[in-house]
Amino acid sequence: MTDARGRRRFLKTLSVTGAAAALGEALGALAADEGTATPEMVRQAEWLAGVRYSDADRELMMKDLADDLEGYASAREVALDNAVGPAVRFSLPPPAPASPAGAAEPRTSASGKPIPAAEEGSDLSFATVEQLGDLLRRRKVSSVELTKGSLARLRKRDAELKCVITFTEELALVQAERADRELAAGKDRGPLHGIPWAAKDLIAVPAYPTTWGSPLFKNQVRPEKAAVFSRLAEAGAVLVAKTSVGELAWGDVWYGGTTKNPWKLSEGSSGSSAGSAAAVAAGLVPFAIGTETLGSIVSPCTRCGATGLRPTFGRVSRYGVMALAWSMDKIGPISRSARDCALVFAAIHGADPRDPSTVDGPFAWPPSRRLSDLKVGYVPALFDEDRTAKMKATARPEEVTRAREWQEIDRKSLDALRALGVRLVPIELPKKPAAGPLSVSLTAEAAASFDELVRSGRVKEMVRQTADAWPNVFRLGELIPAVEYLRANRIRTLLQRAMDELMQSVDLYLSPTFGGDNLLRTNLTGHPAVVLPNGFRASDGTPTSITFTGRLFGETELLQVASAWQEATGSHRKHPAGGAS
């Protein structure tokens, strides 16, 4: 989950006053009183549910309510591991038939220009996956050398960035040595063969801890082998570390501290794919894997100046990855470029019977369609609005300046898109139904995922104990009526239909990263997005970002346009200095 903006939005929709607190106290008293329900407890619950009963109605409910409570208590005796999902699931319309694979040369960019080669002996810290792969295949560098270099950089910078939870050096060297042997023997597993990478520490890897960023799970070793780890291992990639994650997938604070932004060490990297984005941006690994429920790829990539792909919901198996919200969790790559994201995505997408939400969908890379054939939308209202007008009166002058600088950079990004020669179409995001109230789905599912922490009291041992943190939100989630959760998901169906209608007119669209409700809306509907650095603020040198959003299962066209735009603008080629403050 992202921090600040997204959290404030969904917390606001869950505002509960003293009546909810009274209900919680009543339910606690009920549990201590051997299941004796009273009409007064029902009366207190009515306010939260938005209904009103008579005294006679309440009396009539007492016996059945007592039976229900007994059933709830019995159900709570069944142990439920985080890996066990609900029998109902969120699903998307089936994907269209696959497009034919492109015939472009592997080292040709989306815009038709050649990819510059990296030279052996040079600093490879910021080389792309393609450049490193070229050196490996020309035997100018070995996977073991790349792996040792990545491990050394991670160890050197981790003290200040706090981006690593566990080093996987022993595994990495075994995988790297195998990659070198295979490449020497002519066995090429593809573009990721021999390339180091890092995994967000929600991803289970055999024999290594999977801590979820929380002291509650610091020593946890999961029994599963995550599907995304298995697929990358099969592609020949080399896992060097498990990166920091904001505790239970929120923010950049974990039990080891706050993961830092490589561009400005005085601020956090945002989250919750905090360590993955920071490690890539700092030149410590060529790519990493992150997850997103509500901004956890988009937000840290924005803060750190990395490029991230949030795929269509169900494109990448979540087997062996911590569940937060079953109907919203997604897995995607974080890298130096949209093109590298495409190479990683090609290796990890596809159906998996162990994750019922997954589907096989089309993905052709290199892409075969011409840029001029694609119709790209943009949202004029989000580019034209005065973002400072919505800022609080207490906002500091530097915050206002940063907002104005970002808005001007976004407008230039739109000009760069026009210059590419794509067909640009103004669009308007659907105003109804509103996305904000539907975030109750995330809160209810997250509370269900970690219900045991609330009921056992262990939630008090989590790192952050503020209103804007999981302990408080989990408690709020316990008070959401089932009817309201299901109502929100019925409205979510209408939201999907509205977005489907919009996307009939364009192949993808460009918008400010945090403009309007686009981030929440598209996470609810499952649409894919690519977030890219689009410039740097003059006031403090920190990066900004822009976001392309695609059709469901439209990653080919989405990454094609994003890659062409990125090659034309070049912000991804600028890197933070080591030790910059």
Question: Of all helices (H) and strands (E), which one includes residue 490?
Answer: helix 482-503
Residues 18, 263: Cα–Cα separation, whole Å: 43
Q: Which amino acid is at 321?
A: V
Best CA proximity match to 480, nearest among 6, 77, 24, 58: 24
Residue 536, phi then psi, degrees to nearest 5? -140, 140
Active-site residue, selected from the candidate residues 143, 272, 276, 441? 272
Best CA proximity match to 214, nearest among 175, 239, 259, 245: 245
Q: Looking at 162-255, list the stretches that DSSP marks H as alpha helix, in order from N- to C-terminal side.
A: 169-184, 227-234
Number of Cβ atoms within 10 Å of the Cβ of 185: 8
Q: Is 272 a catalytic residue?
A: yes
DSSP 3-state of 202: coil
423-426 β-sheet, strand order? 164-167, 238-243, 196-200, 287-292, 330-335, 307-310, 529-536, 543-550, 508-512, 375-378, 423-426
CA angle, 287 then 277 then 576, to 5°: 95
Q: Is 296 a catalytic residue?
A: yes
Q: Which residue has the tokens 């007119």?
A: 505
Active-site residue, selected from the candidate residues 109, 269, 273, 296? 296
Number of Cβ atoms within 10 Å of the Cβ of 415: 9
CA angle, 510 then 560 then 136, to 5°: 135
Q: Which two tokens stand for residue 58?
A: 């309440």
Residues 61, 266: Cα–Cα separation, whole Å: 57
Cα-Cα-Cα-Cα torsion 304, 308, 313, 314, nearest 10 degrees, comes to: -120
Q: Which residue has the tokens 């580019």?
A: 383
Residues 278, 124: Cα–Cα separation, whole Å: 17
Residue 565, phi then psi, degrees to nearest 5? -60, -40
Residues 277, 298: Cα–Cα separation, whole Å: 10
DSSP 3-state of 374: coil
Q: Which amino acid is at 37?
A: A
Residue 219, phi then psi, degrees to nearest 5? -105, 15
Q: Is 143 a catalytic residue?
A: no
Residues 150, 197: Cα–Cα separation, whole Å: 9
Active-site residue, selected from the candidate residues 162, 200, 264, 330? 200
Provide the β-strand partners of residue 575: none
Q: Crossing angle of helices 129-137/338-348, nearest 10°?
A: 70
Residue 175, phi then psi, degrees to nearest 5? -65, -40
Best CA proximity match to 551, nearest among 91, 93, 1: 93
The distance from CA 367 to its chain's CA centroid, rounded to whole angstroms, is 25
Which of the residues are catalytic? 200, 272, 296
